[in-house]
Amino acid sequence: MHNRKTLSRFFTASLLSLAFSVQAAEMASIPRGPGSAADAASAYVDDAMITTMVKAALIEDKQVQSLKISVTTEKGVVKLSGTVPNADAGKRVLQLVARVQGVKDVKSELQLDRESAG
């Protein structure tokens, strides 16, 4: 169990490091200005960073780490899909996601797992 937690933290740190590196490279190499490619690249990198941080938050939480939840982000809006065993687990997922820095809104397509419910 300790190895899984250590591996999880290493994976999360690696993804965050990669996302920061990509963002720094993009910002340094693309001209700035409203509607520029730099703005589009920045939004993409920011969305990738938010997705990574959301996934890390879900992995780190013992109550939801084993759930199969898909995460996508567009312009700061996080979309969740997958199944949860009960409404409390769904609420927990939404709370965790809402706390992540940069999340502007959360759109949930989470569904109750029929096998767990009944």
Domain layout of the chain by residue ranges: 2-117
What pLDDT, on the 0 to 100 scale, is given for residue 11? 61
Strand partners, 79: 72, 107
What pLDDT, on the 0 to 100 scale, is given for residue 83? 93
Does residue 79 contact residue 73 with C-beta atoms inside 8 Å? yes
Q: Is 32 left (phi over 0), alpha (psi -120 to 50) or beta?
A: beta
What pLDDT, on the 0 to 100 scale, is given for residue 16? 55
Q: Is 82 left (phi over 0), alpha (psi -120 to 50) or beta?
A: left
Does residue 113 contact residue 103 with C-beta atoms inside 8 Å? no
Is the pTM value of this prediction over 0.75?
no
pLDDT in tens, the chain (118 residues): 556 666 566 566 665 555 555 555 555 554 555 555 555 555 556 999 999 999 999 999 988 888 889 999 999 999 999 999 999 999 999 999 999 999 999 999 999 988 765 5
What pLDDT, on the 0 to 100 scale, is given for residue 65? 82
What pLDDT, on the 0 to 100 scale, is given for residue 51? 94
What pLDDT, on the 0 to 100 scale, is given for residue 37? 53
Q: Is 41 left (phi over 0), alpha (psi -120 to 50) or beta?
A: alpha
What pLDDT, on the 0 to 100 scale, is given for residue 58? 93
Does residue 89 contact residue 116 with C-beta atoms inside 8 Å? no
Strands ordered across the beta sheet of 77-84? 69-74, 77-84, 105-112
Q: 37 is written with which tokens?
A: 């490619």
What pLDDT, on the 0 to 100 scale, is given for residue 109? 96
What pLDDT, on the 0 to 100 scale, is given for residue 97? 95
3-class secondary-structure state, position 54: helix
